[in-house]
């Protein structure tokens, strides 16, 4: 419990520092949101009026103070582009990205675990060679390209899945997000399968597995009850690290598949200098990454009794 | 391996469920009840008075009506909320007679008081379109269905100005005390569609306005405008039938889409002109001979080939070729290297010289334009240093006049040359589209063009303006681009105006 409180306490100052950095970085960017929104043809007076209205002409420190005060009271500010409170837009976007990331994690596991088992059981024989070959391929192909390829095959030729959008209802989301989730997961599935394979092989070589076999336990029982469970442990850390990456990777995937998630929103908001949105999203990403790290740290002792002992 | 088998079974069943689940609605006549249209940029703000981005304008044009509207050919005006209108003998008083059966989507009738309130707001709200009501002295309601607009002086393009989208008619009752975000997010108009749901950055959902005055329209009850930013994904969406039409497939894909028997690849006449803004304030661009040398060293046919894959038309004058008074017989500053070298010599500018070309990076059109130009101008000893910057930064630099040459363009909002002429060649409005060009002779012609009401005389004035613009060459006009649109052949009745907006009210989509 102490450990948990200490870990959470360490996280808070980092979060505060993140807000300062984010605020300054965005202000350092050249380009003006008023000009970006009004375009080449707007009059100077119109741009000046908009800057005044949005408070962009006030001193930096004052802008930061206002931002922090609002943040603490739960006011995330107004999206300059959409003239809508950021807090109103955020929930749907978060849902889409979370759905995508969790979905892709589930797919990664569904792909990786059977492959790794197959390879580990038939170590150095042809199924193993095949799997190892298969694993190398996705690591060498970029996500946006694979995304387009999947679209051509499954959306255009076979028409099994829709080409774009988030869909409606839970089943609709499952269907619409299948291709993007697959695109996001295939590379990770490869990494996962490779790690799990070697982890399985290591565990199979331990003495307690020999002992279980010597006791006369069925091969299946040994594999699922003793080997797989132990081999999955290092994978938890890997998943934690990968989750943060997946949120970043969603930037590309969401643009290709026209998903209204955090990633695509981030890119557009940066281009439009939609300050409040960029600030909120960067903070969300940063807090998300910190939360994932924290969760991984907290889960690990639950899975491995040896960590708890320390 | 029971677990594995279970997992496998689950995956197969889930896959079948997921793949087989596709909602779709249609009525008895075999027509779909929803039009789905994919667009490359999302609408952000639907206030007709303050917005100038096409995605916003084209979306709210489904919702709002004006007094008169441009006809589809773009050379005259049709009645919209006004069923007829008249002008006084001196051209200074316009009377508009409203149709009595027009109603807003909340059921209220459209009254003269709504027109007066809306036009006054358009005239008095700071924004990019105030010029459209600049000659207006006063707007009054004579009775519930008669609006009288008094002008300060006779005004040639007045009907075109009043047809502009910023002069949309809003219900006074709804918006009288509204805040900026209400105008932006909750439009209420009398047009064929009304907004029912707006998922920002994702989809606009519109339903037929039950009170729309044209009986039986719109033919399809629902319109969904979906944002699909990636070109490839948008094309796949229309090819797979997921959407019924898309805007802006890139020129590089036009040829392939034309061959698809299920699709109708449209190249619609537009008012788009691509041009290079030269900073006339600084040397050597303050030297007219140098500007002319660049204009003659520009091989527009080659640019059209490289940038538009041949689907654009080389530019001759500053006017789009679809705009009234476009001078068809003008040859423009045609490509002629000998002449360009001669002019360069006469200009006294020492070559080789290096100049900077500012453009927006990652732009499918600006990038190849910049690269093609570099090769062309090198032939007369003008070396281009390319400066690609992201949109916000490039725009800011351009507006602050910190550029030498900038790649940009124009589209008209009214079917009249006055708007573009004033904006691009008149210093007062925008420093001649930021080029800094200033000419007394030009200013005199521009003023004449605005006040002349005789069509033939106006035509001659605008011919003179086009000639003078070519002689002074403050800007280098490159090409006229069509709008690219791809629609499924099952979608019928779709129209895109030369000024850009789509018309969906006659659209049907068969199963």
Q: Do A163 and B199 touch (CB under 8 A)?
A: no
Q: What is the pLDDT of residue B23?
A: 44
Please write down the HEC assignment for all residues of B118-165. Answer: HHHHHHHCCCCCHHHHCCEEEEEEEECCEEEEEECCCCCCHHHHHCCH
Long-range CB contacts for residues A279-283, cutoff 8 Å, separation at least 24: A279/A19, A279/A22, A279/A23, A279/A26, A279/A67, A279/A77, A280/A76, A280/A77, A280/A86, A280/A90, A282/A18, A282/A22, A283/A15, A283/A18, A283/A19, A283/A22
Q: What is the pLDDT of residue B22?
A: 45
B361 or B386, greater pLDDT: B386
Q: What is the pLDDT of residue A189?
A: 87
Inform me whether the pLDDT recorded for A3 exceeds 80: no
Q: Which residues of A are less than 8 Å from B392 in CB distance?
A: 29-33, 35-36, 271-273
Inform me whether the pLDDT recorded for B337 exceeds 90: yes
Which B residues 280-339 touch A at CB under 8 Å? none
Q: What is the pLDDT of residue B106?
A: 94
Q: What is the pLDDT of residue B24?
A: 47
Does residue B360 sit in helix, strand or coil?
strand
User: Around Cβ B31, how many Cβ atoms within 10 Å?
Assistant: 16
What is the mean predicted confidence (pLDDT) over A294-298?
Answer: 80
CA–CA separation, A11 vs A5, rounded Å? 10
Q: Which two tokens stand for residue A163?
A: 């080409």
Q: Which of A27, A38, A41 to mutate to test the interface with B (most CBs of B within 10 A)?
A: A41
pLDDT-based confidence at residue B28 (cuts at 50, 70, 90):
low
What percent of chain B lies above the pLDDT cut of 70?
Answer: 94
Alpha-carbon radius of gyration of chain B: 25
Q: What is the pLDDT of residue B229?
A: 87
Does residue B23 sit in helix, strand or coil?
coil
Inform me whether the pLDDT recorded for B149 exceeds 90: yes
Q: Could you report the per-residue pLDDT of A35-59, keeping only the tens digit for each?
A: 766 666 667 777 777 777 767 778 8
Cα-Cα-Cα-Cα dihedral sign, residues A236, A241, A244, A245 = negative
Q: Which residues of B191-207 are buried (b: 16+ CB within 10 A; e: fewer)?
A: bbbbbeebbbbbbbbbb
CA–CA separation, B399 vs B401, rounded Å? 5
List all residues 6 or more positions away from B124 whose beta carbon is below 8 Å from its beta carbon. Answer: none
User: What's the DSSP call for residue B225?
Assistant: E
Q: What is the pLDDT of residue B27?
A: 53
Residue of A nearest to B399 (CA): A40
Q: Answer whether A122 touches B (CB < 8 Å).
A: no
What percent of chain B lies above the pLDDT cut of 90?
Answer: 72
Q: What is the pLDDT of residue A207?
A: 87
Q: Do B399 and A35 touch (CB under 8 A)?
A: yes
Which B residues 189-248 touch A at CB under 8 Å? 199-203, 226-230, 232-234, 236-237, 239-242
- ipTM score for this prediction: 0.74
Q: Which residues of A are less than 8 Å from B166 in CB distance?
A: none
Residue of A nearest to B227 (CA): A258
Inform me whether the pLDDT recorded for A306 exceeds 80: no
CA–CA separation, B406 vs B398, rounded Å? 7
Q: Could you report the per-residue pLDDT of A172-183, keeping only the tens digit for each?
A: 888 889 999 998
pLDDT-based confidence at residue A60 (cuts at 50, 70, 90):
confident
Is B190 exposed, middle or buried (CB count within 10 Å of its CB: 0-12, 13-18, 19+)?
A: buried
Cα separations (Å) of B162 from A15, B66, B165, B239? 53, 8, 8, 39
CA–CA separation, A56 vs A53, rounded Å? 8
């Amino acid at each position: 419990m102490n450990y948990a409180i200490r870990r959470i306490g360490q996280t808070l100052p980092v979060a505060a520092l993140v807000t300062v950095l984010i605020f300054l970085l965005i202000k350092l960017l050249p380009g003006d949101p008023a000009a970006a929104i009004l375009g080449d043809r707007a009059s100077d007076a119109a741009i000046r009026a908009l800057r005044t209205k949005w408070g962009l002409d006030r001193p930096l420190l004052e802008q930061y103070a206002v931002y922090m005060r609002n943040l603490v009271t739960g006011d995330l500010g107004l999206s300059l582009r959409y003239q809508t409170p950021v807090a109103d837009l955020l929930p749907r976007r978060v849902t889409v990205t979370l759905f995508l990331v969790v979905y892709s994690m589930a797919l990664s596991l569904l792909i990786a675990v059977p492959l790794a088992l197959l390879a580990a059981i038939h170590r150095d024989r042809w199924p193993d060679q095949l799997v190892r070959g298969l694993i190398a391929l996705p690591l060498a192909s970029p996500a946006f390209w694979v995304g387009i390829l999947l679209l051509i095959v499954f959306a255009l030729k076979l028409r099994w899945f829709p080409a774009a959008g988030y869909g409606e209802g839970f089943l609709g989301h499952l269907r619409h997000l299948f291709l993007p989730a697959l695109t996001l997961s295939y590379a990770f599935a490869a990494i996962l399968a490779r790690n799990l394979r070697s982890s399985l092989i290591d565990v199979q070589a331990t003495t307690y597995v020999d002992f279980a076999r010597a006791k006369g336990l069925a091969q299946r029982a040994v594999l699922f009850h003793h080997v797989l469970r132990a081999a999955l442990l290092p994978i938890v850390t890997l998943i934690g690290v990968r989750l943060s990456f997946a949120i970043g990777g969603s930037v590309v995937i969401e643009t290709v598949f026209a998903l209204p998630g955090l990633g695509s929103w981030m890119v557009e908001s940066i281009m439009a200098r939609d300050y409040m949105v960029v600030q909120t999203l960067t903070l969300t990403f940063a807090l998300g990454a910190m939360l994932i790290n924290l969760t991984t740290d907290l889960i690990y002792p639950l899975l491995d009794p040896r960590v708890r002992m320390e | 391996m029971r677990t594995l088998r279970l997992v496998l079974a689950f995956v197969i069943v889930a896959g079948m469920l997921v793949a087989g689940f596709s909602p779709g609605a249609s009525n008895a006549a075999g027509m779909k009840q929803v039009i789905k249209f994919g667009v490359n940029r999302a609408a952000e703000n639907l206030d007709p008075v303050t917005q100038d981005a096409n995605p916003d304008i084209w979306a709210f044009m489904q919702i709002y009506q004006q007094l008169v509207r441009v006809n589809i050919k773009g050379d005259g005006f049709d009645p919209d909320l006004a069923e007829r209108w008249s002008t006084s003998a001196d051209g200074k008083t316009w009377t508009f007679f409203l149709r009595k059966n027009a109603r807003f989507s909340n059921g209220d009738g459209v009254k003269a008081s709504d027109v007066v309130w809306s036009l006054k707001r358009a005239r008095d709200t700071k924004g990019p379109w105030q010029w459209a009501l600049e000659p207006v002295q006063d707007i009054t309601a004579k009775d519930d269905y008669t609006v009288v607009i008094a002008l300060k002086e006779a005004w040639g393009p007045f009907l075109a100005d009043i047809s502009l989208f910023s002069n949309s008619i809003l219900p006074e009752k709804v918006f009288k005390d509204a805040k900026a975000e209400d105008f932006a997010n909750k439009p209420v108009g009398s047009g064929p569609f009304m907004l029912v749901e707006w998922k920002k950055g994702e989809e606009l959902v519109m339903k037929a306005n039950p009170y729309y005055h044209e009986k039986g329209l719109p033919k399809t009850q629902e319109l969904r405008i979906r944002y699909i930013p990636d070109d490839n994904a948008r094309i796949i969406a229309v090819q797979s039938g997921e959407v019924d039409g898309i805007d802006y497939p890139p020129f590089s894909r036009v040829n392939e889409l034309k061959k698809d028997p299920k699709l109708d690849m449209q190249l619609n006449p537009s008012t788009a002109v691509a041009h290079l803004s030269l900073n006339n304030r600084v040397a050597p661009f303050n030297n007219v001979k140098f500007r002319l040398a660049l204009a003659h060293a520009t091989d527009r046919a080659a640019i059209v080939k490289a940038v538009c894959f041949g689907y654009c038309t080389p530019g001759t004058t500053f006017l789009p070729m679809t705009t009234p008074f476009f001078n068809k017989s003008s040859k423009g500053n045609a490509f002629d290297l000998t002449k360009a070298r001669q002019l360069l010599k006469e200009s006294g500018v020492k070559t080789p010289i290096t100049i900077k070309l500012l453009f927006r990076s990652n732009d499918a059109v600006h990038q190849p334009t910049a690269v093609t130009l570099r090769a062309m101008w090198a032939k007369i000893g003008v070396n281009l240093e390319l400066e690609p910057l992201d949109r916000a930064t490039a725009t800011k630099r351009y507006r602050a006049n910190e550029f030498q040459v900038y790649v940009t363009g124009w589209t008209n909002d009214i079917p009249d040359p006055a708007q573009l002429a004033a904006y691009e060649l008149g210093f007062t409005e925008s420093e001649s589209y930021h080029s800094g060009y200033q000419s007394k002779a030009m200013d005199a012609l521009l003023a004449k063009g605005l006040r002349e009401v005789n069509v033939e005389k106006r035509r001659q004035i605008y011919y003179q303006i086009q000639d003078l613009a070519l002689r002074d060459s403050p800007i280098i006009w490159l090409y006229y681009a069509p709008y690219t649109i791809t629609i499924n052949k099952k979608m019928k009745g779709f129209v895109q105006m030369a000024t850009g907006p789509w018309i969906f009210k006659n659209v049907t989509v068969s199963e």
